[in-house]
Chains A and B, each alone.
Chain A
Amino acid sequence: MTATADTTALEFGKARVRKEDARLITGRTRYTDAITPPGTLHVAVVRSPLAHARITSIDTAEAKRAPGVHGVYTLADLGAEEVGMPCAWPITPDQKAPQRPVLAKDTVHFAGEGVAVVVARTAAEAKDAADLVEVDYDPLDPVLDMEAALAEGATLVHPDLGTNESATWVFDSGEAGTGGSVGDAIAAAEADPDQVVVRRRFRQQRLVPAFMEPRSCVVDPTGEQMVIWSATQIPHILRTMTTVVLGIPESKLRVIAPDVGGGFGGKIGVLPEEMMTVLLAQKLRKPVKWTETRSECMLTAHHGRDQIQDLVITAKKDGTITGLDVRLLADMGAYLGLVGPGVPVLGAFMFNAIYKIPAYRFQTTNVFTTKTLTDAYRGAGRPEATFGIERIIDELAVELGREPLELREQNWIKHEEFPFTTVCGLTYDSGNYEQATARAKELFDYDALRREQAERRERGDQVQLGIGISTFTEMCGLAPSRVLGSLAYGAGGWEAASIRMLATGKVEVITGASAHGQGHETAFSQIVADKLGVPFEDVEILHGDTASSPKGLDTYGSRSLVVGGIAITMAADKVIEKAKKIAAHLLEADEGDIEFSAGQFTVRGTDKGKAIQEIAFAAFMAHDYPEGMEPSLDSDAVYDPENFSFPHGTHLAAMEVDTETGRVKLRHYVCVDDIGNVVNPLIAEGQVHGGLAQGIAQALFEEANYDDQGTLVNGTFVDYTLPSSADLPSFTTEIVSTPATSNPLGVKGVGEAGTIASTPAIVNGVLDAIRHLGVEDIQMPTTSQRVWRAIQEAKGRSTQETPIDTHSPGAGLGSIDPNNPQGEVQ
């Protein structure tokens, strides 16, 4: 009962191996698909092979006769014609938001949209029968190109809306009073021979989030509360939204996100398949399970990015930036996702990045196409913004003939200028760009690599060296609720926590954050062990089940530590406050004389004391406790942040380009990230490594390609080229800490940093290697073919166009033309 913590070492800052990993990597845990209540029926969805078509008939007769089939349903059969998936972010009052049905009503709007659903005794029987459902389509023209979609006379994705434009959202620092007018800045620069204007168009290709565990949902309607297990990032939001969408009282719903195998934003949707599974379970009064295949996942789970970015930057010839204008087209796909329209808006506040830009304007036009919808993907808006600004800063450096790091330094916020209010009106609380950059340059051996680069150019080496730079910042810790309110977001940004002191001195911590690979159980245990002075092993973190954790806003936007961790800290403070009263009572001392340190309550100036575990037991026994208080230490807290946090860092990439083949090789990557105080350096490093791999993959490897019929042509992992460890070097990562002043732990968040920072570093590096050959830009991913063509074109040799949508018969599954899958076997 009186176990005492090791008082010599703090848990905060210790590189502990994650305690959840043993069950995760040995397969002991159960993911959603492994949960099968007795009598469970299985679902297979019949999906449209066409991007845009009218459904003329659905014949389910043969499927209904297939072995094991319980039923086959269309939208009408489910009686769900009026059910629409929620979009929580109307970015403008007049945003056009088409109803996204559970299954297509009479028209399919993207390839992969559900048309009918088969329920059977086994998943195999459901799949067999799904192949027997006959659907006839009357094809319509696909809508694939955003600019064409906005042109006069374009085919409309949703004719009843009268347009393919969902909304246009504008921020103008001149109008907001946070800066000057960018129109004036551009006009002034154009008229002034001592200023320059640089205009560039960048493209953010479409990406597949590619989380490891495909999505899955199990609904058991047999108890008083309907239980929904889902492989989701957002169990709490899913519960509330299920009520909103289907009208089931929230109190009748229990949502469980068991261990979830990754998300990267890809699991923050409220899915038609989830709602369909609930409807089927209600209708059939039996447990029902839906688990998608990898192919369905790649085709229908929301995609990320997909923007066209038109940027204008103006500067004096001495390098001082005078204005930045950003115009985006953002592809929403066929419908609006839960927060999809807000993704570009999240980027609006980050294009100005770490720089002092006096005039700024941002505009996004969100466009409907007949493609899979887009929504949050690791970084959500901020990678796009960081790419835009970091790429155009390099372009400005070229225009001005300046060293790109020096040009950045000239314009960035100096460490002594914090707190600094930006042209967007955000207040950056802390940061030290000089420190991170100096350390990164040192680790990278920047000057030596610049010398090597010059020598290779001089010699005309076949392999040229480029140095890619990205000095990024991001806004983390989503989010202050009043800020979200001002952006018309449909929820707050707080997080909840509870701490239960058990009779035997062990601790249960309940968090509203919902881990899906982040390592919350370890990091939160470390925080609580220190706060309460109990052993790390005595702390248990409970999450992801609305029965035990009724209140929360879940995990995305690098918020779990920065918001959820603070809520836990506040709850721990309340536990200590209560325990102090009981300790004073038991020790017969004045509460003001009780000190608390390392789990011990002591009377100042005496050797009398009691451990927190003893107090917990005393509270449980309740034989002797102060008048006027309840016999319990348990405490709840809700934390609503005052501000975002602003991690930053300097990322440097040494890129080798084989000018003969176009092959790009990342030789060396150094990043120094300032993420404030670090709870667990091992977890932080893991987040940085994974983030880097994902951001580098956007620059070099990944792209979801559609053909001219609107078919996703690389919907398998054979064709959608994710890198493995064999494609990436060993990263050099380091962390420097300028503590955040906006929260009591001084933490900033690290979940998205690597992804946000690395993409422009890589592309800047590729261009830096071959710019002297006359290459000015290469679209992402900068594949060997694109690099080779860019070099050929710079030499004045014309080549074929790079195809994105054609199939060769070779390369395994690459041989399979989705439009003609049987064509493969000749």
Chain B
Amino acid sequence: MIPAKFDYVRPSTVEEAVSALQQGGDDAKILAGGQSLLPVLRLRLAAPSVVIDLGGIAELRRISEDGDRIAIGAMAPHHDVMRDDLVKQHVTLLSQATSTVADPQVRHRGTLGGALAHADPAGDLGAVALALDAEFVIAGSSGTRTVPAAEFFVDYFTTAIGEGEILTQVRFPKYTGWSTHYEKFNRTAQAWSMVAVAAALRVEGGSIAEARIGLTNMGTTPLRATGVEQALVGQPATADSVRAAAEHATEGTAAPSDADAAADYREHLARVLTGRAVLAATG
């Protein structure tokens, strides 16, 4: 499979990348880990005039502690994210969800920023970023701006990243000591999620003090299951109360129908998996 012709640039700083992007105009595409872009190019479903490879910008791979946040460079590969001690300690849910992405080969090439910027609603990491109120640092010609997760995901494959802008960093608040679980349901081990549920809970004295629930592939963007969150708070983490709360999981969703799962089945799964995710986290 041979892509159509394109120019290739490999800048070594974010500034160079932004300027290359602006020169490239509408037709330019950013290459992060290439796990989604390259198949699309090879199938000739996209034919950009220029591909800007961020692989030469070392600072974009860094994972660091920044006060009450963990800052992850957009080009940090999934493999690094899931194995990073800071992430494991403070953003455990992200580490857990990342470990379910595809297979080891893909996790070595694919990046956190690339996956989030691609914004495939079946991708696993959007629901985590949304549930955990991550912030997205976006660089453009006039400097950087920060967008909260709640505003980042706009539609299918569409984010708040504007023309001529590049996602450079994702910053997660620390959830040290929270109970977390990512419950993924897919057709084969390496397949995309049919439905998945990201759950982070703070449990105090046997009852749920705070709940953050994200849903994967239940709409055009990752979704927050606020109805479930509200129903959980103040409840004991028992099977009955959790399952009752999980009945709210489909509120505000617009599940897609495809060969793997029609909408009614996805809705059923969302309820079941939400209950399982919360029980697994608190169990």
Residues of A within 8 A of B (CB): 123-124, 127-128, 131, 293-295, 660-661, 663, 701, 705, 713-714, 716, 718-719, 721-724, 726-727, 783-785, 788-789, 799-816, 821-822, 824-826
Q: Given A800-B264, A825-B46, is A809 in contact with B192 using a C-beta cutoff of 8 Å?
A: no
A800 to B46, CA, bound (A): 34
A128 touches which of B1, B5, B191 (Cβ 8 Å): B5
A803 touches which of B121, B220, B257 (Cβ 8 Å): B257
Q: Given A295-B43, A701-B188, is A806 in contact with B258 using a C-beta cutoff of 8 Å?
A: yes
Q: How far is the CB of A573 from chain B (nearest CB, A)?
A: 49
Q: Which of the segments B60-68, B72-80, B88-96, B152-160 contacts the partner chain?
A: B152-160
CB pair A295–B259 under 8 Å, yes or no, is no
Supply 5 further A-B pairs (C-beta < 8 A) apart from A803-B259, A812-B36: A724-B188, A807-B259, A810-B192, A811-B260, A812-B192
Q: Given A128-B5, A800-B264, A806-B259, is A811 in contact with B43 using a C-beta cutoff of 8 Å?
A: no
CB pair A713–B120 under 8 Å, yes or no, is no
CB pair B185–A811 under 8 Å, yes or no, is no
A724 touches which of B103, B121, B260 (Cβ 8 Å): B103
Give chain B residues whose Cβ lies under 8 Å from the Cβ of A131. Answer: 4, 44
Q: How far is the CB of A697 from chain B (nearest CB, A)?
A: 9
A663 to B189, CA, bound (A): 12
A811 to B101, CA, bound (A): 12
Give chain B residues whose Cβ lies under 8 Å from the Cβ of A812. Answer: 36, 39, 120, 122, 192
Task: Return the 8 tightest CB-CB contacts between A and B, nearest first.
Answer: A808-B256, A810-B122, A726-B189, A808-B258, A811-B192, A811-B122, A810-B121, A293-B1
A801 touches which of B1, B43, B217, B262 (Cβ 8 Å): B262
Give chain A residues whose Cβ lies under 8 Å from the Cβ of B280. Answer: none
The prevalent SS among residues of A at the interface is: loop
Chain A: CB-nearest residue to B187: A721
CB pair A810–B155 under 8 Å, yes or no, is no
A701 to B123, CA, bound (A): 21
A192 to B217, CA, bound (A): 56
A788 touches which of B46, B157, B268 (Cβ 8 Å): B268
CB pair B257–A724 under 8 Å, yes or no, is no
Total chain B interface residues with beta-carbon distance under 8 A? 44
A705, A718, A807, A811 interface centre (most CB from chain B within 10 Å): A811
Q: How far is the CB of B29 from chain A (nearest CB, A)?
A: 11
Give chain A residues whose Cβ lies under 8 Å from the Cβ of B123. Answer: 810
Confirm or deny: B272 has a beta carbon within 8 angstroms of a beta carbon on chain A: yes
CB pair B258–A789 under 8 Å, yes or no, is no
Give chain B residues whose Cβ lies under 8 Å from the Cβ of A785. Answer: 260-262, 265
CB pair B190–A726 under 8 Å, yes or no, is yes
Give chain A residues whose Cβ lies under 8 Å from the Cβ of B2. Answer: 123-124, 127
CB pair B262–A814 under 8 Å, yes or no, is no
Confirm or deny: B209 has a beta carbon within 8 angstroms of a beta carbon on chain A: no
CB pair A809–B187 under 8 Å, yes or no, is no
CB pair A803–B45 under 8 Å, yes or no, is no
Give chain B residues whose Cβ lies under 8 Å from the Cβ of A824. Answer: 45, 157
CB pair B258–A803 under 8 Å, yes or no, is yes
Give chain B residues whose Cβ lies under 8 Å from the Cβ of A810. Answer: 120-123, 156, 192, 217, 256
Chain A: CB-nearest residue to B45: A821
Chain A: CB-nearest residue to B264: A800
CB pair B187–A783 under 8 Å, yes or no, is yes
Chain B: CB-nearest residue to A127: B2
Q: Given A701-B187, A825-B46, A826-B156, is A809 in contact with B220 using a C-beta cutoff of 8 Å?
A: yes
Give chain A residues whose Cβ lies under 8 Å from the Cβ of B155. Answer: 826
Q: How far is the CB of A816 from chain B (nearest CB, A)?
A: 6
B43 touches which of A124, A721, A805, A816 (Cβ 8 Å): A816
